[in-house]
Every structure is written in structure tokens, then in C-alpha cells.
């Protein structure tokens, strides 16, 4: 197949050279024809004054007819070469394999750029996978959609919502373990809202579970102690946790300081 393609390329190059030579010849012939027409116009004006001499224009007429005949031959040869080249290209493309035919008809694609680190190993770009913007509906559980509610007012409600479920929803912990982030359905904005919704609750639950393991208490016991200090204003707890504070220790230290006074 490669040898046949090389032969066809040589054939096309040869025909292109012939076509260029024929076009050059045609341009010369057109130049002579135009020059002859100018001479004929000048001769007709001189014959009006001096009479018609048949011997004076015998050779030019013959030359004029030969020029037109050669021009017609050149034009016919050009048309024949063009049609022959078109048929040859169509036949060559029909003999190609499907992948070769597709690649020959399309522009060459640039090779993917490969970044290398200091060790010479290839590394992927920062954003190697496009972000998903279309709605996601089939990744989560087959039951009814999750109903997002407002932030509860107590740490105990948040802890129960995470471990046991609330408002007709399954436990968030079970959904995260079974589906990962796939249960957060909807478009990009809805999934972003769900991520923030889950992240805020996880901040409280992780602190409660870790504090319970350190103090040797249960999760509800730690939640009761936190709710005693926050007094239904759970945003105070969230603000301290986002700053990295040990909020329970701070609350108890503040209570001890106030009692000492």
C-alpha cells in the first residue's frame, strides 16, 4: 500500500509538471493571438486606404488558425489531465483503509504536549479532566431524592442527622460510605450547595466524635455539653471550629473563669 501510494504521488507530480508546461504554452499562444488581432485591426485600417491585397494576409490568417487550433488542443489536454487526476485520487482514497481515508481527509492533529518535571518523568496537567457541568441523576440511591433542610439549632440534632438520619432522609454517613459524593444530584450549582451543606455538618460531627474518643464519652454526651454552652446558637460552634479552636475547652475555661470571680 505504501509503495502504491508513492507511485501515485510520483505520477501526480509528473502530471502537474506537464500541466504547468501546457499552461505556459497556452499563455504564449494567447499572447500571439492578441498580437495578431492588433495587427489585423491595423491592417484593416490600412486596406481601407490602399485596397485589399489577398497575398498580404494569407500567412497571418493561416498562422491565426494554427494558433487557435493549438490553444484548443492545450485546453483539451488540461481538461483531460484534471479529470484523470481526480479519478486517480478517488480511486486511491477508495483503496485506503478506513482509518487511512479518514486521516487523509482531515488536517494533521498536533501531538499532545507532555510536561516533564525535574526528574524527566511525564506529569499530567493541573486540570486533566474537564469539570462536570451537566446534571447528574443516576449516580445516587434509587429512592426518593434527598431533602436538604436548614441547619439545626443544636449539636445533638446535627449529630443525629449525620448518624441516624432526619426529616425522612437516610443517614448522611451511610450515603457517604455507600455512594461517596454520587448521591449529591443535580447540576453544578446544586452539587456545590450540597457539598457546603455536608461539609458544615461534617465539621461538627468530626469534632464531636474526636472529643468523645479523647474524653471517653459518647457522642450524645459531648453534644449535650456543647449545647449547654452554645444555647441553641450553633453558629457560634461553627465559627470556632472553622478557626481551629477547641471550642469545648474554651467554653469550659470561660465558665471556670467566671465562677472563680
User: What phi-psi label fits residue 165: left (phi over 0), alpha (psi between -120 and 50 degrees) or beta?
Assistant: left
Together in a domain, 159 and 248: yes
Q: Kindly state whether residue 131 falls inside one of the protein's structural domains.
A: no
Whether residue 122 lies inside any domain: the answer is: no
Locate cell 501531538: which residue? 111
Same domain, 89 and 159: no
Task: State the DSSP string of 67-92.
Answer: HHHHHHHHHHHHHHHHHHHHHHHHHH
pLDDT of residue 101: 47
**Higher pLDDT pick, 179 / 96:** 179
Domain-located, residue 126: no
> Both 18 and 97 in a single domain?
yes
Q: Is residue 192 part of a domain?
A: yes
Residue 167 sits in the same domain as residue 250: yes
Question: Is 213 a domain residue?
Answer: yes
Q: Are residues 8 and 75 in the same domain?
A: yes
Q: Kindly state whether residues 177 and 243 are assigned to the same domain.
A: yes
Task: Provide DSSP, 129-196.
Answer: SPPP-S-B-SSS-SSSPP---PPPSSHHHHHHHHHT--TTPPPHHHHHHHHTTTT--BSHHHHHHHHH
**Residue 170: inside a domain, yes or no?**
yes
**Whether residue 17 is found in the same domain as residue 83:** yes
Mean pLDDT over residues 199-228, rounded? 92
Q: Is 133 domain-assigned? A: no
What's the structural domain count of the chain?
2
244 phi-psi bin (left φ>0, alpha ψ -120 to 50, beta other): left
pLDDT at 131 exceeding the cut of 90: no
Q: Which residue has the higher pLDDT, 135 or 204?
A: 204
Does 79 reside within a domain?
Answer: yes
> pLDDT tens digits for 226-255?
998 888 888 888 998 999 888 888 888 877
Reference 35, options 54, 60, 59; nearest CA is 60
Among residues 85, 103, 121, which one ends one of the domains?
A: 103
Containing domain of residue 73, as a range?
2-49+57-103
How large is the average pLDDT for residues 96-105?
Answer: 51
Amino acid at each position: 500500500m505504501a509503495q502504491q501510494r508513492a507511485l501515485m504521488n510520483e505520477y501526480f507530480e509528473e502530471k502537474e509538471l506537464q500541466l504547468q508546461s501546457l499552461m505556459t504554452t497556452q499563455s504564449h499562444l494567447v499572447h500571439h493571438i492578441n498580437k495578431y488581432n492588433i495587427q489585423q485591426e491595423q491592417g484593416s485600417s490600412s486596406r481601407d486606404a490602399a485596397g485589399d491585397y489577398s497575398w498580404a494576409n494569407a500567412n497571418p490568417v493561416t498562422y491565426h488558425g494554427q494558433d487557435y487550433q493549438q490553444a484548443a488542443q492545450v485546453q483539451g489536454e488540461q481538461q483531460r489531465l484534471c479529470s484523470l487526476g481526480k479519478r486517480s485520487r478517488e480511486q486511491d482514497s477508495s483503496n485506503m483503509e478506513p482509518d487511512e481515508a479518514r486521516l487523509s481527509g482531515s488536517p494533521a492533529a498536533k501531538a499532545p504536549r507532555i510536561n516533564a518535571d525535574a526528574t524527566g518523568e511525564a506529569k499530567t496537567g493541573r486540570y486533566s479532566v474537564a469539570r462536570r457541568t451537566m446534571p447528574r441523576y443516576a449516580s445516587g440511591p434509587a429512592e426518593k431524592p434527598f431533602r436538604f433542610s436548614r441547619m439545626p439549632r443544636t449539636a445533638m440534632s446535627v449529630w443525629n442527622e449525620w448518624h441516624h438520619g432526619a426529616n425522612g432522609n437516610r443517614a448522611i454517613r451511610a450515603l457517604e460510605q455507600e455512594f461517596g459524593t454520587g448521591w449529591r444530584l443535580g447540576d453544578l450549582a446544586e452539587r456545590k450547595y450540597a457539598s457546603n451543606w455536608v461539609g458544615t455538618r461534617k465539621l461538627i460531627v468530626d469534632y464531636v466524635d474526636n472529643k468523645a474518643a479523647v474524653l471517653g464519652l459518647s457522642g450524645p454526651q459531648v453534644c449535650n455539653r456543647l449545647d449547654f454552652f452554645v444555647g441553641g446558637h450553633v453558629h457560634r460552634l461553627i465559627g470556632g471550629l472553622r478557626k481551629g479552636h477547641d471550642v469545648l475547652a474554651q467554653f469550659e475555661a470561660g465558665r471556670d473563669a467566671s465562677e472563680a470571680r
